[in-house]
Amino acid sequence: MRSVGVEEELLLVDARSGEPLAVSGAVLASAERHAWQRPGGGAVRAHPFEEELQKEQLEFATSPVTEMGALQEEISRIRREAALHAVTAGAAVAAVATSPLAVRPSLNAGNRYRWMGEQFGLTAQEQLTCGCHVHVSVASDEEGVAVLDRIRPWLAVLTAMSANSPFWQGEDSGYGSYRSRVWNRWPSAGPVDLFGSADRYHEQVRCMVGTGVLRDEGMVYFDARLSAAYPTVEVRVADVCLDASTPVLLAALIRGLAETAARAWQDGRPPARVGTSLLRLASWRAGRSGLDGALLHPETMEETSAAHAVEALYQHVREALVDHGDDERVREGIARLFEHGNGARIQRQLLASEGSLAGVVTRCAELTARG
């Protein structure tokens, strides 16, 4: 069974005012101090946290697992750990994909981040967004590229399901996932053409880095890519999700997409030849609507309801879900998502009930701390 792992980026905020705080260094120092230690010294387990582009962010990665219940437990546990470490720095963590309140982010130190700030200007300086990346194991780069080629039309639906960034710089953006729009300011981000083979994929990446626009392979920000560090396909289209069960739902669906695509490749069935320009429109529509408006149907690229688009995704991967033992979890997760709403809908509901964006952030931080 294919293993999955999740990376999440959390926003560091003042627990009372909701304003983002540039304290990632202090939070990471707390995590270092509390790493599990052998009796004679030396860490048994390195902590899962890392710095990100901005000092107002904290990133973590789960271990690769094959059982979704274990993934749910690990995400919940690490979110609780992140909240405890944040307290030591006078902060809280909030699983929101953009800051509801106005902010001027602070780039982290280091040659890489300094280079990005100089190269990309405001794009880097304003890039305070928190995403959720899902890794699924593949047997080879060739299989991985076959998967990338075949999951392209389905990725926008995942953006809509995860949408959790309705506010930007103190205003309602009108989008469910405004993070997806801000993220696509990077020149290497977004949907890509069919590759056809691993050789063509790697040649494309080499050429992109060779232009000098990108510092290295890690800055190839395709919607889905081969991981440079692990034998995985990495799907990067989702907002970080407010409810800790939603990334598990996404991970189950993405593993289903990868398995369905790999089986199609093994059977000799070609990928759908959907133009990248249409995929960009589908991505924009998903970011705009979330689950509260029309989407583009992944198979026809025609307007349809969010419910129909999500149902099409579910039916497309259902055989793989059943084989993985994930079918019931996914069906229940989809039903819960439509009943209670994704993060974008919940944040807007919180604004109506709390009366302020500061109240929205405070409540989101409380929910995140519960894991």
Query: For the segment 132-147, what is each residue's pLDDT rounded down to a tens digit?
Result: 999 999 999 999 999 9
Q: Which string of DSSP letters, residue by residue, matches 142-169?
A: HHHHHHHHHHGGGHHHHHHHH--B-EET
- Segment 257-269 shows an average pLDDT of 98
What average pLDDT does this structure show over 182-198? 98
pLDDT grade, residue 44 (50/70/90)? low
CA distance 149 to 157: 16
pLDDT on residue 12: 98
pLDDT band at residue 35 using 50, 70 and 90 as cut-offs: confident
User: How confident is the model over 278-286, as a mean pLDDT?
Assistant: 98
Contact 156/237 with Cβ under 8 angstroms?
yes
The per-residue pLDDT for 354 is 97
| Residue range 11-20, pLDDT digits in tens | 999 999 999 9
What secondary structure letter does DSSP report for 130? -
Cβ 181 vs Cβ 289: under 8 Å: no
Average pLDDT rounded to a whole number, residues 250-259: 98
* CA angle at 105 for the pair 103 and 107, rounded to the nearest 5°: 180
Cβ proximity of 115 and 108 under 8 Å: no
Taking every pair of C-alpha atoms in the chain, what is the biggest distance, in angstroms?
Answer: 63
pLDDT at 308 over 80: yes
Among 44-58, 105-119, 157-171, 186-200, the minimum mean pLDDT is found in: 44-58
Taking the C-alpha atoms of residue 93 and residue 79, their distance in angstroms, rounded to an integer, is 8
Across the chain, mean pLDDT equals 96
The phi, psi pair for 318, rounded to 5°, reads -60, -40
Q: Give the domain 4-369 fold.
A: Creatine Kinase; Chain A, domain 2 (3.30.590)
Mean local confidence (pLDDT), 253-265: 98
Which of 329, 317, 321, 290 is CA-nearest to residue 306? Answer: 290
pLDDT of 40 over the 80 cut: no
pLDDT at 200 over 60: yes
**If we measure between CA atoms, which residue out of 222, 193, 195, 197 comes closest to residue 142?**
197
DSSP state of 356: S
Tokens of 229: 């560090």
Q: Is the pLDDT of residue 110 over 60?
A: yes
pTM of the model: 0.96
CB 235 within 8 A of CB 224: yes
pLDDT attached to residue 38? 47
pLDDT, residue 36, reads: 62
Summarize pLDDT for 285-294 with one digit per residue, the tens: 999 999 999 9
